[in-house]
Amino acid sequence: MDQLSALEDQSIYIFREAFNKIDKLAMLWSIGKDSNVMLWLARKAFFGHVPFPVVHVDTSYKIPEMITFRDRMAREWGLEMVLGQNRAALDDGMGPQRGRITCCTALKTDGLKAVLAEQGYTAVIAGIRRDEDGTRAKERVFSPRGLNAEWDFRDQPPEFWDQFKTTFPPGTSLRVHPILHWTELDVWKYIRRENIPVVDLYFAKNGKRYRSLGCAPCTAPTESTATTVDEIITELERTRTSERSGRAQDKVSEDAFERLRAGGYM
Amino acid sequence: MNAIVGLSQTELRLPIVIVGHVDHGKSTLVGRLLNDTGSLPEGKVEALREMSRRRGMPFEWSFVMDALQAERDQGITIDTTQVRFRTAVRPYVIIDAPGHKEFLKNMITGAASAEAALLVIDVQEGALEQSRRHAYLLHLLGVRQVAVVINKMDMCDFSAERYQAVSDGILGYLSEIGVTPSAVVPVSARHGNNVVERCRHMAWYTGPTVTEALDAFTAAKSLAHRPLRLPVQDVYKLDERRIIAGRVESGHLKIGDTLTFLPGGRTATIASLESWNEPTPRTEAVAGQSIGITLDQPIFVERGHVASLAEHRPVETHTLRVHLFWLGHEPLTVGRRYTLKVATAEHDVTVQAIERVIDVEDLSNHNGDRVERNGVGEVVLHSRSAMVVDDFVAVARTGRAVIVDGYDVVGGCIIQQPKADEMPARNLIATGHTVTADERAWVNGHLGGVLWFTGLSGAGKSTMAMALERELFRKGIQVYALDGDGIRQGLNADLGFSPDDRTENIRRVAQVGRLFAEAGVIVVTALISPTRADRAVARRIGGRHFHEIHISADLAVCEARDTKGLYRKARAGLIPEFTGVSAPYEPPLTPELTLHTGGQTVEDCLAELVAYVERTLIRPARQGGSGANTGEP
Ligand SMILES: Nc1nc2c(ncn2[C@@H]2O[C@H](COP(=O)(O)OP(=O)(O)OP(=O)(O)O)[C@@H](O)[C@H]2O)c(=O)[nH]1
Ligand SMILES: [Mg+2]
């Protein structure tokens, strides 16, 4: 058995556990490569079906190509899409000029909390990975969230032998992380093996490409000449810069990302 | 795909956990390992320097792993972290575990998925409490490959003598728990000596460096050739297909194999392997694969069932003996109920006995009625539903379980030589029901029975009956006390105290007792039942269920107690034919048990009663040391 198949089997197992154990389950769809790999894995787990809705939190600042791609995929794959947006904050003029962390919290975290509450989801599947950042490296596969969606990283439940925490007090919720154990390189190798569609922004144009996709004002493309999946893989095998290096909100201070995540960010 | 042949495990990431006592340098070692193998991203070292400077510390390699602010500020690891890196030989997942005992649950979280471990020990301190506890837990978790790292050699001038002394200490402990480390490497994690680069100051050491020790570990053994275990995770009805989904935890299967599903033992043949977007349809599957199958027959299958091949089935049982580690804030105690999760099954279990509590410091065994937080012990668990399990050593995936209390995981355990339920030898009479007495006994974890208390008024029958009912109930046993006074007000309200009515009273209670016993309940009756003839009738009715227990106290003692004031009335002639005063009491000649309530405390009597019930009804076939219902086949 090769590494990619081992990763895939483990992810399928997690998807099936979540689907069996959780009544109101949804998947977060950021439209990035990781979300698309997750959708693909869900279809593997459920024999071509995606048996839960996909939630997209629209900050209104997404790069336009992402929205076009989202709507095309939703149609082609027959997804039940649920859109969330923090309208009140946007009407009030929320944007990165108010501070990147403030903006991220309002438009993404609060936007997410609102749509989860509105729809009554008790667990959401999110495509975070341990290799992205030091706090994500400490995550659980089934990660409980408090009454206000906050993450108590100082006291996480034990999780071993693939026996996940699937019961939790009323009012609290879960995040499920089926690709926590994957790396960026694994994701691209799997995209190559399975031929999974991804948005064009990942491929280099004029010497730059996006390594990680977020909102336009806070996501910068990185230097690259990789125009195909193969070239991206070769590039990643050599690089020593980190994936989220193009994400401005992480760099506001040493603990900026930790605080974002403690507050309920993915 | 030819799954059976293509089993190379060498490119798979080998998960390694780093364990040891708090502050002995685990995170520092990992940080250094990543740095010295060129695995840190660009700019990381500068960032670490800045973080250390801001906190007024010398350069801290542990900050690579200790990403949380609280961890950096306190200089301690709180939660486990996983990072990937590779050597020239193979890729690894490195799992850094916290050493502080407060975070043992996080250490377990990290260690449970490891194939091998590095046990880090500070040369200045030697093996301390958590060094031993971690070593013990590694062994319990089934992590058999261990290398010891003696750290901070820079603090003792790289002394070979200090190294030898600490090394001897830990080797002694490890050998007692059956662990032989592959190497004992002296290092300075902070300065990178013997981590990747060999150290000039320790020319006396000729063994492997840390990376060499890692590369010498062997990859996880494939489970493809072990007995087949496919725990059912879910059943999907999709597009006319009924797909049984699950992960092959051990062994392999192919289309055409006949599967046996336990519990129950229904069989069917694999008609197809279902999948989506595979280049060629699957025809077989091996351990580790998450699959979907369809069967040739529509047999009833649900989550929690385990499919196997007929010749190598798992064990179906209601009672398990397990070796467990406890993480709950509340201690584990006898009689408590928990949920046991084995593979995809869940069972309500009761702690039937704590066989020993183990002190991991000196490995001594103790008797005890509780296993405390972070403690280790051997206990007997009983479930009302049939559990399908294996011996941990034979099939680890179905030989281990986690214990859940309410919403929380509070422990983990490995199953030791489970034995199938045995027909209790004394219980062979068919009842004519579809549910046999034996089946009831397996589910309840004990036989039904009638404990017939007899004795003078005031001897303590009701007191003992109620105390026994409470105590057995606490142990999770189906028990009910039938008190003479209560019966006389209800079922036998039509009866008086004439000799005939007294006989009829006893006959009816004996019949009710027998029904209870056949329904699987232990019933305790508390009637004076003064005559041998009446009790002989009760014994005939109760048959093999009947246990005559003499609650014995001298008349003088009973009369002095006179709890209900009856003796006083009887002496005054107000109660005719009062046993002991105006009517005879015929003590049993050969009771199963006699309790002398005059000379013994209630607690002592109770202990004697409980021991009797354990011996006769709970573990009648018990063989020295092993669990319930484990008589010789
Ligand atoms: N002198 C010296 N100090 C070291 C060495 N290795 C680690 N240290 C120091 O020991 C302290 C504890 O190191 P950590 O790596 O945080 O220890 P740990 O085992 O990860 O601790 P926990 O995870 O909290 O259990 C830090 O201040 C390190 O700098 C070494 O080889 N030599
Ligand atoms: Mg540490």
Q: Would you state the pLDDT for residue B433?
A: 66
Assigned CATH topology for domain B11-216: Rossmann fold (3.40.50)
Rounded distance from Cα B29 to ligand 2 centre (Å): 9
Q: Do the domains B230-312 and B316-415 sit in the same CATH topology, yes or no?
A: yes
Report the pLDDT value the prediction gives residue B629, as an integer from 0 to 100: 30
Q: Do B11 and A2 touch (CB under 8 A)?
A: yes
Strands B252-254, B284-286: pairing kind: antiparallel
Cα-to-centroid distance, B25 and ligand 2 (Å) = 7
CA distance A174 to A81: 20
pLDDT of residue B7: 40
Quote the minimal CA–CA distance from B224 to chain A in Å. Answer: 11
- Asked whether residue A100 falls in the same domain as residue A150, the answer is yes
Per-residue pLDDT of B43-78, as tens digits, reads 888 888 988 998 888 899 999 889 888 898 888 999
pLDDT of A16 reads 98
Confidence of residue B622 (pLDDT cuts 50, 70, 90): very low
Q: Which of B388, B100, B119 is nearest to B230 (CA)?
A: B388
Q: Are A71 and A199 found together in one domain?
A: no
pLDDT for B4 equals 37
pLDDT of residue A198: 94
A206 shares its domain with A124: no
Q: Are strands B145-151 and B184-186 parallel, antiparallel or unpaired?
A: parallel
Residue having the nearest C-alpha atom to atom 9 of ligand 1: B25
Q: What's A168's domain CATH number?
A: 3.40.50.620
Total tally of structural domains belonging to chain A: 2
Kindly state if the Cβ of B190 falls inside 6 Å of ligand 1: yes
Domain ranges, residue A210: 185-251
Q: Does any ligand 1 atom lie closer than 6 A to the CB of residue B194?
A: no
- The closest ligand to the CA of B100 turns out to be 1
Q: How many Cβ contacts (< 8 angstroms) between chains A and B? A: 142
Residues of A whose CB is below 8 A from B341: 163
Q: Is the peptide bond before A158 cis (omega within 30 degrees of 0)?
A: no
Q: Give yes or no: residues A27 and A55 share one domain.
A: yes
Q: Ligand 1 in contact with B62 (CB < 6 A)?
A: yes
Fold assignment, B230-312 = Elongation Factor Tu (Ef-tu); domain 3 (2.40.30)
Q: Specify whether A82 is located in the same domain as A202.
A: no
Q: Region B394-410: what's the mean pLDDT?
A: 96
pLDDT of residue B10: 55
Decide if B407 and A167 are in contact by the 8 Å CB cutoff: yes
Task: Please check whether residues A129 and A245 belong to one and the same domain.
Answer: no
Q: Rounded CA gap, A40 and A44, in Å?
A: 6
Q: Is the CB of B525 under 6 A from ligand 1?
A: no
Please state, in angstroms and rounded to a whole number, the distance separating the CA atoms of residues A123 and A175. Answer: 6
For the stretch B179-216, pLDDT in tens is: 999 999 999 999 999 999 999 999 999 999 999 999 99
Check CB contact of A76 with chain B, cutoff 8 Å.
Answer: no
- B73 alpha carbon – ligand 1 mean position (Å): 14
Would the CB of B100 count as within 6 Å of ligand 1?
A: yes
Global pTM? 0.84
State which ligand 1 atom lies nearest to the alpha carbon of B57. 27
Cβ <8 Å between B41 and A194? no
Considering the domain architecture, whether residues A105 and A126 belong to the same structural domain is answered as yes
Ligand 2 centre to CA of B63 (Å) is 9
CB contact under 8 A, B236 and A133: no
Interface contact A77, partner B, CB < 8 A = no
Give the integer Cα–Cα distance in Å for A232 and A234: 5
Nearest CB neighbour to B409, from listed A1, A13, A157: A157
Residue B25 Cβ < 6 Å to ligand 1: yes
- Does the beta-carbon distance from B290 to A13 stay under 8 Å? yes
Based on the fold, state whether residues A53 and A29 are members of the same structural domain.
Answer: yes
Band the pLDDT of B11: cuts 50, 70, 90: confident
- Which ligand 1 atom lies nearest to the CA of residue B76? 24
pLDDT at A250 (0 to 100): 64
Question: Is residue B19 within 8 Å of B98, Cβ to Cβ?
Answer: no
Please give the full DSSP string across B118-129, using - where no structure is assigned: EEEEETTT-S-H
Distance from Cα B66 to the centre of ligand 2, integer Å: 7
Select B316-415's CATH number: 3.40.50.2300, 2.40.30.10, 3.60.10.10, 2.40.10.220: 2.40.30.10
More confident residue, B189 or A264: B189
* B437-628 under CATH 3.30.110.30, yes or no: no
Q: Give how far A237 is from chain B: nearest CA, Å.
A: 12
Task: Report the pLDDT value the prediction gives residue B426, as an integer from 0 to 100.
Answer: 41
Q: B423, B397, B426, B401: which is closest to B412 by C-alpha?
A: B401
Residues of B with catalytic annotation?
529
User: Per mean pLDDT, which range of A174-183, B82-91, B322-331 is the poorest?
Assistant: B82-91
Q: Please report the DSSP string for B478-512 in residue order.
A: -EEEEEHHHHHHTTTTT--SSHHHHHHHHHHHHHH
Per the prediction, chain A carries an average pLDDT of 90
Q: Is A78 in the same domain as A196? A: no
pLDDT of residue A64: 86
**Does residue B1 carry a pLDDT above 60?**
no
CB-based contact A6 B288, cutoff 8 Å: yes
Q: Give the C-alpha separation, A215 to B619, whole Å.
A: 67
Question: What residue segments make up the domains of chain B, in order of their start?
Answer: 11-216, 230-312, 316-415, 437-628
The reply to whether A158 and A230 lie within a common domain is no
**Mutation pick for ligand 1 pocket among B18, B190, B197 (CB with most ligand atoms within 8 Å):** B190
- Kindly give, in sequence order, each residue whose CB lies less than 8 Å from that of residue A91, ignoring residues fewer than 6 positions away: none
Of A153, A161, A183, the CB nearest to B68: A153
- Closest CB to B303 among A20, A131, A165: A20
Looking at the fold, whether A143 and A243 belong to one and the same domain comes out as no
Q: Do B112 and A46 touch (CB under 8 A)?
A: no
